[in-house]
Structure 1
Amino acid sequence: MGIFKKDPLKIITFRSYGTPTHLYVKGRALEDENIDLSKKGFFNLLWNTYKRFETDLIKNAPLILTLPDGRKITTETDNQGYFLIDETIENLMPLIDENGWLKYEIFFAEKFPKRIIQKNNKFTGEVMIVPETAKFGVISDVDDTIMHTGLTSRFKWQVLKNTVFKRAEKRIPLEGAVDFYEKLKNGKSGNDCNPIFYVSHSPWNLYRYLEVFLEKNNFPKGPILLRDFVNPFAKKYIPIAIGTEKPQKQKEITNILKTYPKLQFILIGDSGEHDPDIYIEIAETHPERILAIYMRSVNHAKKMIRVKGLFEKYETVPVLLVEKSNAAVEHARQIGFI
């Protein structure tokens, strides 16, 4: 529990999603590393990156979540400091604000002797409740889909350069991505409020970094769903035929489909890593739920040959490989999404 360390304790809440009768809340209890994302300079950026991954977690800590109407839900962090609330909660509709978000507070249920707990032990979070006006949902990757990361670079050097030595607000989104996502959110009527889910293989340690990037560049607000940090160079997808466990990204997408059984989805990713394999398996399992797949092409000849081969005769759902967002916009307009 890190009782003898001096750093203050805090709870990080991850923006998530739910329904008027179900909550899916995620977060993590940690020691505060006092990371300042506004700092400039080589050593400051390097130090911030070190602190993001050198996390002192608070394991097996009981927590209490409080809804705006006073109802309380208890949970506990696991051995990595994460917590998850995934349960039916009736009559949440009156608690949702005008933008479709349910805000809550969460706090440590027990005191820590000789420790400071940030924010007077009151931490806030929010859950998106999909409105009835939504005609479809959008599930999007982040890395090399809306933000250039460099995952296809040799030895992942571009990943290290972009993540370590560039501040979040200085990262530039891929051309046309913000406009495309805003159009998808608004839908054909211009006021559909279609939900956008950001599901990435990036570790939770980068949550705040990605949140700042999305906000600074005016991407539509939506849940940000990442994975636990194990190895940044680990393979992200192994064919299910081998019998291995499905990637966390695929699990999250499957859970979104389960949470909204009457909603269809558009999947957006890139051809640089394993989005094509994951998206194909999801589409084959739920063909009636997937309206289309958009795959952003990457500058890697061998990977593009493989991906083009995967989709050459694929007919389960419409698939479009695009180099620029305007091609996706035109296709979405022709189909009637926007």
Structure 2
Amino acid sequence: MGWFSRDPLQIIAFQTYGTSRNLYIKGRALEDEDIDLSKKNIFHLVVNSWKRFKTDVVGNAKLELTLSNGFKHEFKTDKEGYFLVRLQLEGQPPECNEEGWLIYELSYADVELERKIQLENRFPGKMLVPSLKSNYGVISDIDDTILHTGIVSLLKWRVIYNTLFKTPGKRLPFAGAADFYHLLHRGPTGKAANPIFYVSNSPWNLYRYLEFFLKNNNFPKGPILLRSLSSFFKKNKVVNGESLSHKPHEILNILDMYPELSFILIGDSGERDADIYLDIAQRFPDRIKAIYLRSVAHKKRMFRVKSLFSDYKTVPVLLVENSDEAVIHARENGFIR
């Protein structure tokens, strides 16, 4: 657990989502390894990569959540330092900012642990509460959808190289992707605040890395939903008797959280996005407005994806080579201004 090392403690609150009455807050308590994502030389790249995966967690720790309206709630982390708080609120709900973000604070509630905190025992967090006036929501993959990853490379060597030996400041988004997402965020009037959800199979160890990448490349802020490193070796979650991997589980959770909201799904043709999105669209045909899949340079996978949708006509599905093609389709269908 690393409690006896010199590193101070921290609480990382992941950007999540909920409603004015339903809190859905995730995060992790661990030691602060002092990772500086702005450093670019090879030594710091290797050190930072090692620190991201060598985590000294604070398991079974007592934490406290505080909302802006004074509401407080105590809870504990699990043995890996993770926590998930799901609560239904009563009374006057806390206020959100103009973009729909509910601001809260986390702190250590254990006196013994407080002694290891060198700074103030207050760690900020944000939870998105989409406006009831939203036109739709967007659920997007990250790897090879908005971020050049190399997921279809031989033995995933490009994924390993890009993750370990490139800073997020050096990683390149696909051309026009950020502009397209801002158009979707603002909707057909250009004045909306449609929610964007980023769902990836990457581990939570890369949360700060991906958060920095999205902000540095001017993508709309949105919940970033990853999975624990240990889940790579566990069986899939079972929901209503059905075994679900991380991504469909998160998508179904989002749809369940906002039953009145329709969605646009964005992914790529390299991995399993096509299969997952097709299944979601078949189960919720009235709630999926469109599916955009970025084409990848892999003939067999592209052939398989095209075959998958060859007889499917219920929801518009577009395989795009670039963001401009998606913009044209979205504008023609009234999704954007």
- The TM-score, its normalising length taken from structure 2, stands at 0.94
Over residues 8-59 of structure 1, what are the superposed CA-to-partner deviations in whole Å (9 max), with x where a residue is unaligned? 1110000111111111110000111111111121121011101100111111
Instruction: Name 1:165's counterpart in structure 2.
Output: 165
Instruction: Name 1:126's counterpart in structure 2.
Output: 126
1:271 maps to 2:269: yes
Instruction: Name 1:86's counterpart in structure 2.
Output: 86
Instruction: Name 2:253's counterpart in structure 1.
Output: 255
Q: CA deviation at 1:259?
A: 0.6
Distance in structure 2 (CA, Å) of the matches to 1:263 and 1:114: 42
Describe the SS at the equivalent of 2:169: helix
Q: CA deviation at 1:276?
A: 0.8
Distance in structure 1 (CA, Å) of the matches to 2:113 and 2:12: 21
The 3 A distance-change label for structure 1 pair 43 and 92 is farther
Q: CA deviation at 1:198?
A: 0.6
Describe the SS at the equivalent of 1:121: coil
Distance in structure 1 (CA, Å) of the matches to 2:115 and 2:193: 43
Aligned 8 A contact 1:265 1:290 in 2: yes
Distance in structure 2 (CA, Å) of the matches to 1:253 and 1:244: 14
Distance in structure 1 (CA, Å) of the matches to 2:207 and 2:26: 12
Aligned 8 A contact 1:10 1:118 in 2: no
The 3 A distance-change label for structure 1 pair 212 and 316 is same
Which of 286, 289, 301 does residue 288 from structure 1 map onto?
286
Aligned 8 A contact 1:136 1:265 in 2: yes
Bigger shift: residues 38-47 or 203-212:
38-47
* Percent identical residues: 56
Describe the SS at the equivalent of 1:253: helix
CA RMSD of aligned residues (A): 2.1
The 3 A distance-change label for structure 1 pair 290 and 83 is same
Instruction: Name 1:108's counterpart in structure 2.
Output: 108
Aligned 8 A contact 2:69 2:94 in 1: no
The 3 A distance-change label for structure 1 pair 254 and 109 is same
Instruction: Name 1:206's counterpart in structure 2.
Output: 206
Instruction: Name 2:61's counterpart in structure 1.
Output: 61
Q: CA deviation at 1:114?
A: 8.9
Aligned length: 334
Which of 295, 316, 319 does residue 318 from structure 1 map onto?
316
Describe the SS at the equivalent of 1:25: strand
Listed as ranges, the gaps of 5+ residues in structure 2 are none
Distance in structure 2 (CA, Å) of the matches to 1:269 and 1:161: 22
Listed as ranges, the gaps of 5+ residues in structure 1 are none
1:26 maps to 2:26: yes
Residue type at the aligned position of 1:111: V
